A = this chain, B = another copy of it.
């Protein structure tokens, strides 16, 4: 469960989805084992789930954005929104997703997470 090729394949898959390399440098004062945290999280998501058949990238992108928006995890939501836009989801569809989120997860969470969408919309 510690195979370099797994991590490389997961990183390659992430790069295809993001349209740019996924670079996760160690932070200042962070111990070297922090690399294992990045590796396992990357393999579990991009390696073990995104790379599967059975559900198209566009659907996985909608699901990923929904999870991060429902949890209110802002930084991960930012990344998932970039992947969604890069995977053929339109900005309009992302707004529709938030309209659905407002109905089912409420106005408080939807507005809170929508700030991140606004920031990503303004990036390009």
Contact = CB atoms under 8 A, between A and B. Distances in A.
Total identical chains: 6
Contact of A75 (B52, B76, B112): B112
A81 to B, nearest CB: 12
A62 to B, nearest CB: 6
Contacts of A112: 71, 73-76
Interface string A1-38: 10000100100000000000000000111110110110
A77 B30 CA distance: 17
Nearest to A89: B59
A30 B98 CA distance: 13
Contacts of A74: 112
Contacts of A59: 59, 62, 93
Contact of A33 (B63, B96, B103): B96
A55 to B, nearest CB: 4
A52 B99 contact: yes
Contacts of A122: 27-30
A102 to B, nearest CB: 5
Given A36-B95, A67-B104, A67-B105, A110 B41 contact: yes
